[in-house]
Amino acid sequence: MATDKPPRTVVGESDLRHLRNHSSDHLGTESVPDGRVLVIYTGGTIGMTRNDVGVLVPKANAIVKNLRKYPHMHDEEYATARFGSMGPLVLPLTATDSRRVVYNVLEYSPLCDSSNMTMDDWIRIANDIKQAYEHFDGFVVLHGTDTLSYTASALSFMLENLGKIVIITGSQVPIFDTRSDGLDNFLSSLIIAANYNIPEVCVYFGTNLMRGNRTSKISATAFNAFDSPNFPPLAKANIKIEVDYRVIFRSCSLTKFHVHASLNRNVGLLRIFPSITTHLVKAFLQPPIEGVVLQTYGAGNVPLNREDMINEFNEASKRGIIIVNITQCATGCVSGMYEPGKQLEEAGVISGFDMTPEAALTKLAYVLSKKEWDTETKRKIMQTNLRGELTSGRPPFLQDLDLVEAVARSLRISSTTEIVELGTILFPAMLNAAVIARDVVKLEMLRGYGADISQRNTDGRTALHIACCEGDLNVVQCLLRMGASVHIKDRFDRTPLIDAVEYDHYDIIKVLMQCGAHLHGSGYLIGEKMCAAAAVGNLKRLKSYDYANADLSQIEFSGRTPLHCAALHNKTQAIKFLLKHGVSADCKDKIGQTPLDLAKAAGSTEAVSLLSELEPTKNSVKTAR
């Protein structure tokens, strides 16, 4: 967290509970909602400082201390008034911002130079994201540049069914130097992570947001140090941040976010070069090696006159070693158009299409660690597009927007910018109309025409928001199978889950939870809503919150739980429900009263009878702070 205390390498449960409960504090009535970002600072040039002789070195706790001094990275006056002097960092709010960016920094100890990064570090980052996943809208990982693309590629596979954005960034020059690329990279990453629903592991560098498993470092000195050679940027951050939602990869499975915290380390990269010896190839393919990324010439070629080498690949494949063929070229892909490529296929070498070396190696480590798959399944998965890492069979773009273009022609619009803007108006309206009409066929057609299924209308609401209000389970499931995000917040800070809860659609709540939805925002505000339901005896609403995995003992601002309110207003059915679900009758509010005390004071006879029957708990009585 953002403090001057010694750094921790995990996010504590007590810290996350405090963050949830105090996310609004005494400024909770502010009209601009928060965008919460967790920054994981692993090390690298971006946070280094110069020592007495001018050499760049990592320094523990320096980054947060220095960020607090930068007015464009931290609104000290606002943050101190809301969170106290050692609370999270907060970006200044501009007139055009729809969300105020609040970010916590988790600093690793010791800080790690990227050249020292290992698979253990990737697992550590993935597990920290898992632990903090429900408490933040997005994640930024500050990382050294040398192995940044390896980390981004690995995380893209390890973070299964990802529904929130993870951005890996760094810099060529430290953020605290006078002339640095780090400041823009970090600032832009924070803004994108807090405001945009791009459920991918990305790399941000220069002005481009790129798919992480499509990137490679191309320069040791240029500020534009990374490129995505075979895939366009997901977004460009110039005066405006322009996101190309058509190319975003979305998980279409009805399962929740999961971290696969295991990788097979017996993998390697073998680059073909002139006069490479058979002995070297044979030695490379010996145990314990289980997977090899083979970097060949051009479109996947090896020397035609090297039958000895081909035989070694053939023998290794028969032993169960998976060999993936990718090109040494920066752009393009392997294909079977030349005879040498065909020879490799016949020897059991599989195509890696247009994967980068970083993506191919980390994917191989991920796939080989899946013990539930046999070798043939693993070979097929290596050639399957799991996270947008490869292009196979067809271009990675959806159909041309001919529907929008037809409307544009009728309106005599020819500007590309105006056509794109027209699509942002038409598609949400048509998607929402199809949802209300319960027309899943039309939803499929609109997606085929290029509609982003999670595109927002002017109120920031998506088709899934509307479907969760309408209550048609079939439409909700259809949208989720098409990749609709369960985490998008509208302008009122409501997610689809909140809509389902407040319309008491139990089946839809269960499906959303299955897909990784969770309650967002201040615990106090959620407690206030549950208390209101308990006060009027609204069992349906309390059950909705229970299905949404809410803490039914959650206090509101006065320290009262739903049981306090049910007791005060003599709502016996609500009392029975809450007690059945383990809510403590001993919790005291801010003036030291238990639910039984309130029931007695209000003359709630039935409530007094119910609560008086309870035996005192063995634990000490809790008092709301």
Q: What CA–CA distance (Å, rounded) separates 576 from 585?
A: 11
Tell which residue, 466, 407, 480, has the closest CA to residue 437. Answer: 466
218's CB contacts (< 8 A; 6+ apart) are: 224, 225, 226, 227, 330
Q: What CA–CA distance (Å, rounded) separates 259 from 162?
A: 9
**Which stretches of 2-55 are assigned E, i.e. beta strand?**
34-41, 49-50
* CA atoms 309, 313, 314, 315: torsion sign: positive
DSSP result, 26-40: GGTT-SSPEEEEEEE
Please give the distance of CA 247 from its chain centroid, rounded to a whole number: 17
Q: Would you name the residues annotated as active-site residues? A: 45
Helix axes 416-436, 440-448, angle to 10 degrees: 170
Q: What CA–CA distance (Å, rounded) separates 164 from 194?
A: 10
8 A C-beta contact, residue 386 and residue 363: yes
SS3 category, 210: strand
8 A C-beta contact, residue 344 and residue 313: yes
Q: What CA–CA distance (Å, rounded) separates 146 from 219?
A: 10
412's CB contacts (< 8 A; 6+ apart) are: none
Q: Which amino acid is at 525?
A: L
Helix axes 539-547, 523-535, angle to 10 degrees: 150
Q: Is the peptide bond before 288 cis (omega within 30 degrees of 0)?
A: yes
Report the chain's terminal Cα–Cα distance, integer Å.
22
For residue 387, the 8-state DSSP code is: S
